[in-house]
Amino acid sequence: MPLVPMRQMLDEAAKGGYGVGAFNVNNMEQIQAIMEAARETKSPVVIQASRGARKYSNDKFLYHLMLAAAELYPEIPMALHLDHGNGFDTCKSAIELGFTSVMIDGSLLEDGKTPSDLKYNVEVTKKVVDFAHERGVTVEGEIGTLGGVEDGHGSGVSHLTDPQQAVEFVQKTGVDALAVAIGTSHGAYKFTSAPTEEVLKISLIRKIHELLPATHLVMHGSSSVPKELQDVVNKFGGKLKPTWGVPIKEIQEGIRNGVRKINVDTDSRLAVTGAIRKVFAETPDKFDPRDYLKPAREAMQKVIAERMTQFGQAGHAADYKAMSLEEMRGYYKKGPSGCGGGCCCGGKGKKK
């Protein structure tokens, strides 16, 4: 199956009432782990690369690894998504390379650190939307800012999404998906104790979904950072401080209220690091990269398969025939904000 537009994937998720995990990658083993998990659970999947990942692996290597995945797993719908594009040129280069979806994070200025204002966010997002939709490519935007910094991206300060600003932003930009800030953050150290409603505002998702029922919502910084993964890292020489992530039950509540894309990265990193540390600690004579990368890949696959099941996407890989980017171009031409009548709102701006 060719790479598919993420818009179609999220429309189908909305129809089915489930979420789709978006998993970050930097190398071949991570892509293999995700695709094996998708095959195991029969799940559609979003594979995403940050600017840091594109620099680390090189665009051409990354893209051709994705083409290989499409060839080897023809039954799995998958979208290749740019995570946290910092400006128009970054998004344009990803689209021209072959990404089927891009995120433009106009909540920050182009340095990826300084919070912007709504005017700037709307302008840069609309420019990306116009360019992307002409080519059938999906666009995710962001309103509000997450805490934490990852891959050099982030202001380090959380600014919760204002629901009324979210409405204005979607109306003016026509984005396909909207990342909202509800108290989550990038990286492993999200919360110093189990999060309560005071710090993790799932109620904010409910409000935004009421106002924007036809917009696909996105939860960033949504790794659950399970203690068992932390314990493996620390058991074999790591020094992670106690930390809490986003509970699965809260993510599932978000899915029930319009969240269709859930970003997960830290959980994968912990699984990989713990497995590698275990090999080095238990068999210090090993030096073949395959001796530690294979168990690392297996550990990541296990975590990803579990998340796919928890998010509800398991079993939905064969639900629909993938659209081409050319077909998606026609889809965007049929209605306001890119709604061609094939999505969850039936072309009427509200849920069926």
Catalytic site positions: 83
182 exposure class (CB count in 10 Å sphere: 0-12, 13-18, 19+): buried
Beta bridge partners of 85: 104
- The C-alpha angle 295, 263, 30, rounded to 5 degrees, equals 25
Instruction: Provide long-range contacts, Cβ within 8 A and 24+ apart, for 337-343.
Output: 337/170, 337/171, 337/174, 337/175, 337/214, 338/7, 338/129, 338/133, 338/174, 338/176, 339/214, 342/8, 342/11, 343/7, 343/11, 343/14, 343/214
Pick the closest to residue 138 from 85, 99, 166 (CA basis). Answer: 99
Report how far residue 110's alpha carbon sits from residue 311's, in angstroms, rounded to the nearest whole number.
Answer: 32
DSSP H helical segments within the chain, as ranges?
6-16, 28-41, 51-57, 59-72, 88-97, 118-133, 163-173, 202-211, 227-235, 248-255, 266-282, 289-311, 325-333
Please report, for residues 37, 69, 132, 136, 344, the alpha-carbon distance to residue 295 in angstroms, rounded to integers and kept in the order given.
14, 20, 39, 38, 40
CA angle 177–268–146, rounded 5-degree value: 45
Burial (CB count <10 Å: 0-12, 13-18, 19+), residue 123:
middle
Which pair of tokens denotes residue 221? 């910084």
Q: Looking at residue 85, what DSSP letter applies?
A: E
How distant, in Å, are the alpha carbons of 92, 146, 150, 151 from that of 155? 23, 8, 10, 12
Are residues 139 and 128 in contact, defined by beta-carbon separation less than 8 angstroms?
yes
